[in-house]
Amino acid sequence: MSPANKAKDVQVFPVAADTRVLRSRTWDRLKFEIEYALQKGTTANSYLIEGDKTALFDPPGESFSTIFLDALQERIDPQQIDYVILGHTNPNRASTLKALLEIAPQITLVCSNPGALSLRKILAETEIDLNIEIIKSEETLDLGKGHILEFILTPNPRYPDHLCTYDRQTEVLYTDKLFGSHVCGDRVFDEGWTTDIEDRRYYFDCLMAPHARQIITSLDKIAAKPARIYATGHGSLVRYSILELTADYRTWAKSQGDREFNVALIYASAYGNTATIAQAIARGITKAGVAVESINAESAKSEEIKTAVEKSTGFIMGSPTLGGHAPTQIQSALGIVLANAAKTQLAGVFGSFGWSGEAVDLLENKFRNAGYKFGFEPIRVKFTPTDAVLKTCEEAGTDFAQALKKAKRERKKVRQAQGIASDLDRTEQAVGRLVGSLCIVTTKKEELSGAMLASWVSQATFNPPGLTVAVAKERAIESLLYTGNNFVLNVLPEGKHIGLMKHFLKPFAPGEERFEGVNTEEASNGCPILSDSLAYVECTVANRMECGDHWLVYAVAEQGKVIQSEGVTAIHHRKSGTHY
C-alpha cells in the first residue's frame, strides 16, 4: 500500500518521563492551504503528561477527532484529565474540544487571553460550561511529580493567542506551531534531520516569514529555557537538531528584516479563508525577495498599522464580506491606510465571500479613487480557495514584489546608459559572457502546471545521469520543483527557437494558462513535452540548494529523446551578469 493510500491513524510513543505523544497522522494533503502544497501529509501532535494531575496538550482538528479520541480513551479515562493546554485555538480544533468536553466536562482549559476570547466565541452556541484558566507569560502550573509547567506567550498576527509551554522536569518545550513541518512518516524524532531541511524551510517561509519580527521576539523568550526536546505541533519532534534549527529560524527571520523592500499585508478573516489567501500572497512576495509585515486587523493596534504602512514600499488589504459589508476592524484599518500611505506606494486588495463580495469592491474603489496604482488585479475568492486559486494568489504576490523592484532596475539602467561604470558593473559584464543552452522547463502536478525559459542549465553527473537548472526564487514554477517532483527539460533548436522563446518570455497573468497555442504531448511522468523542441529529458528533482536569489535544482534524468537529429542547440549570449 502506497503512503498516499494509507488510512489515517494515531501513533503513540513515549517522549520523556510520564509523557507521551499522540501523533494523528495523514498521508494525504490535510487542507487546501499553501503550507500543505508539498503534499507530503502531516501529523497533528498532541501530548499527554501524567503527573499527580494530568494535562493534555493541543488536541487535533476535526478531521482527526474520532480516531484521536478513540486512541486517547484506550490509554486513559478522559475524566481523569485535569487540564487541556492550548498552544492556539481555531474552529477546527474547537470541534475536537467540544467532543472531548462532552465526555469530560471537568477539564479546565488553559490558554492565553486571546485564546479564551476565541474559544468563547467559537463555542458560544454550545451548552457546555467552559472552565477556562487564562494565563500570563511566565506563570506556572504544578502537575506534581516535578512537572512544573512554565508558560511563554509567543503571539504573532496569524496566531495572536500562540503559547509555548516548558516542563522543568523533562526539559521539553511544547512549541505548537514553531519548528514544525508538514511531513507524515514513522519517525517520531528527527534522527537523520538533514533530510528535513527543505520541508522545515518551506514551512517557515509559508507560516513564519510574514511574522519575522514576532518570531525573533519569540526566539528571545524561549532562549532562556534549556530545552532538550521541541515538542512540535506538526511533523517529527526535534531532539537532534535543536541548536541548528533554532539558529536557522533566527537566520531566516533576520533575513526578512534585512530586505530592501517591505510590504504591509493587512487583513481580517471571519472563517479562515481570507487568512489562507493572505498566506498565499505573502508566500509569493517573500519568495521574490521582498519582506512582508503581516498584520491581523482584528488584534492589531492602530499605531501598529500606522507604523507598518509608513515604513512600507507597498500595502495590500484583505477582507471577508459579512452581511454585505467589511468588518469594522477593516473599515478602521482602511482609514489609517488612506491617511498614512504615500501615493507612490503600490496597492493591492483581496477577499473571500460567500455570496456577494462588497468588501473587496469597497477597498478597490477607495484606493482607486485616492489615486493608488495596483500591483495586481483585485482577487475575489468565493468560498474556500482551491489549489489553483492559491497558486494564482502566490503568483499575484510575486508580481507585486517584482513591480516594487522594477523602479530600482530602471534607475540602474539610466546610470549605465550615462556611462557610469563601477568595478561591480565591470564584473557583471564579465560574468555575462558565460553562455548557456536555451531550454524550456515544463511541469504538471495534478491541476497545476508551469513553464519557464531556462538558460542556466548544465549536466552535473554521469552516474546517475543528472543535470542542474538554476531557478529564480520569484519564478511561478519554483513552487512545483521541490524534491520528488517531475519536470521535462525541452532543449530548443538553433534557428527555430524564436517562437517558443518569445512565448515563454512574455509575462503571464497570475493563473494564466502557459501552454495555450503551443503544440505539446504528455511525457511518461505526466509533464508536457514541447513537440517543436530539439530534444527533451524527463527529470525528477533529487535535491535543491539555495544560492542567493536562485535555487539550484539538481535532477536525475530518467529518460529522454532527440526529436530533431540534424539540429543543434540554441545558445543564449548575454552582455551582463545581472539579468538573463
For residue 275, give the amino acid letter: A
Model confidence band, residue 429 (pLDDT cutoffs 50, 70, 90): confident
Each residue's pLDDT tens digit, 8-48: 999 999 999 999 999 999 999 888 789 998 999 999 999 99
Q: Are 177 and 159 in contact (CB under 8 A)?
A: yes
Sequence-ordered list of residues with C-beta below 8 angstroms from that of 195, at least 6 positions apart, any chain: none
Q: Are 326 and 267 in contact (CB under 8 A)?
A: no
Q: Which CATH architecture group holds 432-572?
A: Roll (2.30)
At residue 414, the pLDDT reads 53
Q: Are 442 and 537 in contact (CB under 8 A)?
A: no
Q: Which three cell numbers stand for residue 12?
A: 503513540
Gyration radius (Cα) of the chain, Å: 25
Sequence-ordered list of residues with C-beta below 8 angstroms from that of 446, at least 6 positions apart, any chain: 387
Q: What is the mean pLDDT of residues 365-376?
A: 96
Q: Where are the alpha helices (DSSP H) in 437-497?
A: none
- The domain limits of the chain are 3-256, 259-405, 432-572
Q: What distance in Å separates the CA atoms of residue 367 and residue 459, rounded to the nearest whole number?
A: 50
At residue 270, the pLDDT reads 84
Q: Which three cell numbers stand for residue 456?
A: 542556466
- Report the mean per-residue pLDDT for the chain: 92
Q: What distance in Å separates the CA atoms of residue 77 and residue 75, rounded to the nearest whole number?
A: 7
Q: Are 460 and 469 in contact (CB under 8 A)?
A: no
Query: Would the pLDDT of 407 be above 90?
Result: no
* β-strand partners of 493: 569
Element (H, E) at 242: helix 242-257
DSSP 447: T
- Assign 167 to helix, strand or coil: strand
Q: Are 533 and 489 in contact (CB under 8 A)?
A: no
Element (H, E) at 406: helix 387-417
Q: Which three cell numbers stand for residue 35?
A: 503550507
Q: What distance in Å separates the CA atoms of residue 562 and residue 580, rounded to the nearest whole number?
A: 26
Each residue's pLDDT tens digit, 227-239: 999 999 999 999 9
- This prediction has a pTM of 0.87
Top-level class of domain 3-256: alpha beta
Nearest C-alpha neighbor of 269 from the set 255, 284, 279, 258 = 279
530545552: which residue's cell?
Answer: 227
- Assign 45 to helix, strand or coil: strand
* β-strand partners of 47: 21, 57
At residue 1, the pLDDT reads 47
Q: Are 493 and 533 in contact (CB under 8 A)?
A: yes
In Å, how far from its chain's centre is CA 230? 21
For residue 249, give the amino acid letter: Y
Crossing angle (nearest 10°) for helices 113-122 and 91-103: 80
Element (H, E) at 384: none
Q: What distance in Å separates the CA atoms of residue 487 and residue 541, rounded to the nearest whole number?
A: 8
551578469: which residue's cell?
Answer: 577
C-alpha count within 13 angstroms, C-beta hemisphere, residue 35:
24
Q: Which of 301-315, 317-331, 414-428 has the lowest mean pLDDT?
A: 414-428
Q: What are phi and psi of 156, to 5 degrees?
A: -150, 170
Sequence-ordered list of residues with C-beta below 8 angstroms from that of 422, at least 6 positions apart, any chain: none
Q: Are 469 and 454 in contact (CB under 8 A)?
A: yes
Query: Would the pLDDT of 432 be above 90?
Result: no
Query: Would the pLDDT of 426 be above 90?
Result: no
Nearest C-alpha neighbor of 31 from the set 207, 186, 178 = 207
Q: What distance in Å separates the CA atoms of residue 552 and residue 466, rounded to the nearest whole number?
A: 13
**Extended beta strands in 354-417, E state:** 373-374, 379-382
Q: What distance in Å separates the CA atoms of residue 204 and residue 181, rounded to the nearest whole number?
A: 8
Domain covering 259-405 in this structure, CATH number: 3.40.50.360
Each residue's pLDDT tens digit, 135-187: 987 899 999 999 999 999 999 999 999 999 999 999 999 999 999 999 999 99
